[in-house]
Structure 1
Amino acid sequence: MSKKFLREWVATVVIALVLSLVVRTYIAEARWIPSESMLPTLKVGDHLLIDKAYYKLRGLERGDIVVFQAPPTAQEDKDLIKRVIGLPGEKIAIKDGIVYINDQPLDESYIFEKPHSDFNAIIIPEDKVFVMGDNRNNSYDSRYWGTLPMENIIGKAILLYYPFEHIEVFHD
């Protein structure tokens, strides 16, 4: 093996590693689902691709699925995944199994079942969102630990890529 060939091979591997680290750190990252809190949308073992950059330019919308560092009030050491339900400045409440945003019922075709408990109305502070799992009665979310600071959001789910028979692109 010539020195030139070895140098080119090492340079290629180093460039590939650096590009991979840059992409994973700043652009996109693969994640898998560890719990049933997002049923029926996401199942245990599903694999997702999350966008870590573009969503920051476009902002978040109600219905977006986000991966985030749990806030200190959650007393969790792991990253969580939930759906954005309430946006900054909005009033959110749950009464008789229906989520209300600014006193208007929210259409939630994606939930597993209606929540069994009510949630007293709050106004979501600026730079925070209210997140809940789609499996409302089996989800540890903003109803228990409060609103989520936007800076805790790692990325937005954009693609369910495994299992292959369930590939889905999430709305943009």
Structure 2
Amino acid sequence: MGKYSSLLKDLRKFFLTLIVMICLVISFRAVISPEIVIGDSMENSLHEGDYLISSRLAYKYQKPHYDDIVSFDAEIVAGHDLFIKRVIGLPGDHIQIKDNVLYRNGKAVDEPYIKEPMDTNDFDIKVDKGKIFVMGDNRNHSMDSRDFGTIDFHKEVRAKVLFRLKPLNQDFKYSE
């Protein structure tokens, strides 16, 4: 009887540990989102196949900032599951593109992260409350707010990218 009693205790400990681990993984996934970059719209900052770690709770407790990199659901926009873009405009901002130069509230934006000079149509939009204006760093090969407008950072943004997990040897810049 002692042998079975010991086996039952071990099985009970095993299943309890398994249940606790499953609960931890589910909780972790509710807060942290691993993502993989698909496409070239964020080059030279992010490349296809890069693994990212993102926070699903970032905009529950803070507001977006310029240069944050966010992921959002894009099924309605483009038939894709996920877009990853850089925050260019915040609520209340006036975003313009004139002669291939990006302006935010009348001032040219310094963009050392873009892959190449922009070649695009002139553009003019005011960012509404609760919305953000996003663009890819590879401006000439990016579907972004120039195409589908602003996005709701409370409802549509899935997560804010925190860091690149793989490859670690590349510089990854974002604002806090």
The structural deviation recorded for 1:164 is 3.3
1:133 Cα deviation from its structure 2 partner = 0.3
* Aligned: 1:130 with 2:151: no
- Alignment of structure 1 residues 62-73 onto 2, 5 Å: 62-70=66-74, 72=76
Q: 1:6 aligns with which of 11, 19, 43?
A: 11
Distance between the aligned counterparts of 2:20 and 2:117, measured in 1? Answer: 50
Deviation of the 1:167 alpha carbon: 6.5
Deviations 1:30-54 (A, max 9, x none): 1110110000000111000001114
| Distance in 1, Cα, partners of 2:129 & 2:15 | 48
Q: Is contact 1:71–1:152 with CA below 8 Å preserved after alignment?
A: no
Alpha-carbon contact 1:64-1:83 (below 8 Å) kept: yes
Distance in 2, matches of 1:144 and 1:131, equals 10
- Give the aligned CA root-mean-square deviation in angstroms: 1.6
8 Å Cα contact 2:58/2:160 also seen in 1: no
Gaps of 5+ in 2: 1-5
Deviations, residues 123-146 of structure 1 (Å, cap 9, x unaligned): 111111110000000001110111
Q: Which runs of 4+ in 1 moved over 3 A?
A: 167-171
1:148 maps to a residue whose letter is: I
SS, match of residue 165 in structure 1: coil
Tell whether the 8 Å contact from 2:93 to 2:105 is kept in structure 1 after alignment.
yes
Q: Which has the larger radius of gyration?
A: 2
Q: Residue type matched to 1:56 in 2?
A: K
Is the 2:86–2:136 contact (alpha carbons within 8 Å) kept by the matching residues of 1?
yes
Under a length normalisation based on structure 1, what TM-score does the superposition of the two structures give? 0.92
* Cα separation, 2, equivalents of 1:112 and 1:168: 14
Q: C-alpha separation between the residues in 2 aligned to 1:152 and 1:24?
A: 18
Pair 1:77–1:10, CA change in 2 (3 A) = same
Task: Count residues with an aligned counterpart.
Answer: 170
Q: CA separation in 2, counterparts of 1:121 and 1:66?
A: 22
Task: Kindly indicate whether the alpha-carbon contact (under 8 Å) linking 1:40 and 1:135 is maintained by their aligned counterparts in 2.
Answer: yes
1:87: which partner in 2? 90
Tell me what 2:142 maps to. 139
Structure 2 counterpart of 1:49: 53
Find the partner of 1:118 among 91, 103, 121. 121
Q: CA deviation at 1:159?
A: 0.8
Aligned to 2:167: 163
Where structure 1 has 5 or more consecutive residues not aligned to the other structure, the ranges are: none
Which amino acid is the alignment partner of residue 9 of structure 2?
K
Separation (CA, whole Å) in 2 of partners of 1:97 and 1:113: 11
